[in-house]
Structure formats: structure tokens, C-alpha cells
Amino acid sequence: MLAACVDGKGVDEVLRAKEGIADERGKPVLERAIAAAGEVQKRGGQPNVTEDVIDEASFYEPIFYSKLGKNVETVDESLDYIKNHAKNKDRTAQRAVERADRGRCAAERPGRDDPAGVSDLIDRTWAAGAVDGAD
């Protein structure tokens, strides 16, 4: 099933990249993992696609984007997780808010992503934190 691609090879590349961005070998794997995560989420309600599987795909998607250095996408998907999927106690909204905030900070740096949307990212990240009780 697609979930294996989401939490298997993609996670292996996240771990291999450690604290940095994925190398050229890891980038295509992460792109496939992102596509698989999106496909799993689209298949919600179909047989064998449980809420846990969808939660997992949504949880990993922003992590994969962060390892590609795609900060705006990292924030967007982290906020999507908070809004739509943060029901799993092991994957709290607080962790997603922290990931969104790190992505937002990275997007603010000169030469990163499109700075025009940074203000919106800040507002949305703070709003998500306030709504969900995060500090």
C-alpha cells in the first residue's frame, strides 16, 4: 500500500539527512513520499484507508517538505495537520505548531522561499498555536 512508501523510504531519508536538508540522492525519494502521502489522504473513506493511515500520511508530509528545504509547504502542511488530523495523542498539535514555526522562521531568512507570504505564515502559525493551546 502507499502508506509503506510514506513511512518507509521517506522516513529513512529524513533520518539519513539528520538535521540538514536531503542530498541529491534523497530528494527524489522524499518527493515520491510526498506524492504518496497526498494520495493516501485523497483515498480517505476507501477500504483499508483508516483514519490512522491518513493521520500518519498527514503527519509525515510536512517533515518530508522540511527535508527538501520547502519551508512554505512545511508550514502549510503542518497547519493542515493541526486543523484536520491532530487527534493522535502521540502526534500532538504542539509538535505540528513547533514544526510550522521552525518552517516560518526559515522562510523569513533572506534568500529563502517567497518572503511575500511570510507575514501570512506568521499569522497562521500563531493562530494555530493560540487555538490549540500551544505556547
Could you report the per-residue pLDDT of 82-105, keeping only the tens digit for each?
778 766 655 555 565 566 666 656
What would you report as the CA-atom Rg of the chain, rounded to the nearest whole angstrom?
A: 14
The model carries a pTM of: 0.69
Quick check: 36 pLDDT over 80? yes
pLDDT of residue 5: 47
Quick check: 122 pLDDT over 50? yes
Query: Could you tell me if 103 and 75 are in contact, meaning their C-beta atoms sit under 8 angstroms apart?
Result: yes
Q: Return the percentage of the chain with pLDDT > 90, whole number.
A: 18
pLDDT of residue 64: 92
The grid cell for 31 is: 518527493
Query: Could you tell me if 83 and 55 are in contact, meaning their C-beta atoms sit under 8 angstroms apart?
Result: no
| Full DSSP string of 85-123 | TTT-TTS-HHHHHHHHHHHHHHHHSTTSS-GGGHHHHHH
Quick check: 66 pLDDT over 70? yes
The predicted model gives 52-68 an average pLDDT of: 88
Residues written for the chain: 135
